[in-house]
Amino acid sequence: MTALPDRRVVIPALGIAQIFAWGSTFYLPAALAPLIATDTGWTYDSIVGGVSVGLLVAGLAAPRVGRLIAAKGGRPVLAVGALLLAAGLFGIGTAGSFAWYLAGWVVIGLGMSASLYDAAFSTLGRIYGARSRTALTSVTLFGGFASTVCWPLSAFLAARYGWRGACFTYAAIQLAVALPIHLFALPQATASGAGMAIEPRPAARLRRDEYATFGLLAVVLTLGASVLSIIGTHLLPILTARGLDMAVAVGLGAIVGPAQVGARIIELLIGNRYDPVWTIVASAVVVAIAAVLMVTGFPIIALAIALYGAGNGIGSVARGTVPLALFGADRYPVLMGRLGFPLLMAMAVSPYLGGLAFQKGGADLTLWLVTAIASANVVLVAALRVATWRRE
């Protein structure tokens, strides 16, 4: 059996790349969209719709990316993802028309499919096999700081260099930081950590008794991603619409990162003691409570943001650990690609719907939409828990 790559190298390296993969794509419009609208005259909802285009492309590409990682390993796929993100960010920064702006997001979408959590989780699953749970959780500890690091960084870069300069800086980070990490810190794809030779055409067939569970899991993860997408894209505009200064809004938004990381640390310390399905149950319940509190408003909003961060934090962990526990390591990369399709498609639609809700009914309508989705997910995650019990 091939020796496992050193986690002390792989996990921090991949985690740093995740911070900037999320921060320069999904979290980018929260800080830059108002500036882009002022500078170009494009409407706010259409600018945020660029994220939707990117996520739509990412969702369409996700199953193919999962198969590529299963067949070739994560190193070349993630490296190409960094190049695509850099190219797309450069395209957005040079956009003189809205069509060119959207074209930049199409390229970014391809990069997102090969750079965000699904690709990273699949890579770790391919390297460490059934022993991936702590590695998955550890990488999300880094990813949890994406908004905390990149929202203030984006605001600083935009204030100093303009929104275009911010995009160019993030493109340079992808080339100078993420690309070398993927090329030099990740192992060659000669064999997986579980001792399995990489197959040219990996299969991932579900048994008949697994379809219902897989379907429920896909819906639960998809609704959770919808909430993440709406809040992640619109949190700062929601807070400023409620009368808070932008600096205060950024400060409150920065609570999300530490809350995510704190919850993930708890999961890392005690997660191996219980079924990972309980992680996704806890995530759905905590996020629903947070949504209700967000409707209530400031100062409860600070507690709501902390709870949202905690629930989303362990939800991201569950997104990687639950499929591994339910369906095994050998099918993991391909199934992660399949799960990524509806999840990313929902994330594609949700920012735009959130933008429409914000435009039509302001912060209140947007938060009620989030509350409805989060409440429905509590019901569905309970059904998933029952379904997994029946399989045991």
Pick the CATH number of 7-195+206-391 from 1.20.1250.20, 3.10.50.40, 3.50.50.60, 1.20.1290.10: 1.20.1250.20
Residue 58 is predicted with a pLDDT of 92
Planar angle of CA 349, 50, 340, nearest 5 degrees: 45
Residue 41 is predicted with a pLDDT of 92
State yes or no: pLDDT of 12 exceeds 70.
Answer: yes
Taking the C-alpha atoms of residue 260 and residue 148, their distance in angstroms, rounded to an integer, is 10
Lowest mean pLDDT among 22-26, 51-55, 231-235, 340-344: 231-235
**pLDDT level of residue 3 (50, 70, 90 thresholds):** low
Residue 191 is predicted with a pLDDT of 43
CA distances for 6 relative to 127, 329, 347, 349, angstroms: 10, 19, 33, 39
Residue 195 is predicted with a pLDDT of 41
Summarize the confidence of residues 165-182 as an average pLDDT: 96
Planar angle of CA 167, 250, 298, nearest 5 degrees: 150
Taking the C-alpha atoms of residue 111 and residue 104, their distance in angstroms, rounded to an integer, is 11
CA distances for 354 relative to 82, 249, 320, angstroms: 28, 18, 26
At 199, the amino acid letter reads E
The rounded mean pLDDT for the chain is 86
Residues 6 or more apart whose Cβ sits within 8 Å of residue 168: 89, 90, 93, 161
CA dihedral 328, 334, 336, 341 (to 10 degrees): -150
Q: Which one, of 126, 46, 150, 57, lies nearest residue 347 by Cα?
A: 57
Summarize the confidence of residues 135-144 as an average pLDDT: 85
**pLDDT level of residue 204 (50, 70, 90 thresholds):** low
Taking the C-alpha atoms of residue 270 and residue 293, their distance in angstroms, rounded to an integer, is 27
Q: What percent of the chain has a predicted confidence (pLDDT) above 90?
A: 39
Task: Please report which residue ranges of the chain form alpha helices under DSSP H.
Answer: 7-23, 28-40, 44-72, 74-93, 98-113, 117-128, 133-143, 146-173, 179-184, 211-241, 246-253, 256-270, 277-296, 300-327, 332-391
Residue 162 is predicted with a pLDDT of 95
Taking the C-alpha atoms of residue 78 and residue 69, their distance in angstroms, rounded to an integer, is 9
| Cis peptide bond N-terminal to 299, omega within 30 | yes
**pLDDT level of residue 196 (50, 70, 90 thresholds):** very low
Q: What is the pLDDT of residues 284-317, one digit of tens each?
A: 999 999 999 988 876 688 899 999 999 988 888 8
Summarize the confidence of residues 357-361 as an average pLDDT: 86
Residue with tokens 């708890």: 266
Taking the C-alpha atoms of residue 230 and residue 222, their distance in angstroms, rounded to an integer, is 12
pTM of the model: 0.80
Residue 298 is predicted with a pLDDT of 61
Q: What is the pLDDT of residues 81-126, one digit of tens each?
A: 999 999 999 999 999 999 999 999 999 999 999 999 889 988 988 8
Token output for 152: 């203030």
Considering only residues 216 and 328, tell me which one the structure prediction assigns the higher pLDDT: 216
Taking the C-alpha atoms of residue 245 and residue 70, their distance in angstroms, rounded to an integer, is 47
Residue 197 is predicted with a pLDDT of 43
Q: By three-state DSSP, how is residue 201 classified?
A: coil
Considering only residues 298 and 74, tell me which one the structure prediction assigns the higher pLDDT: 74
Lowest mean pLDDT among 221-230, 314-323, 348-357: 348-357
Domain definitions of the chain by residue range = 7-195+206-391
DSSP states along 203-225:
--PPPGGGHHHHHHHHHHHHHHH
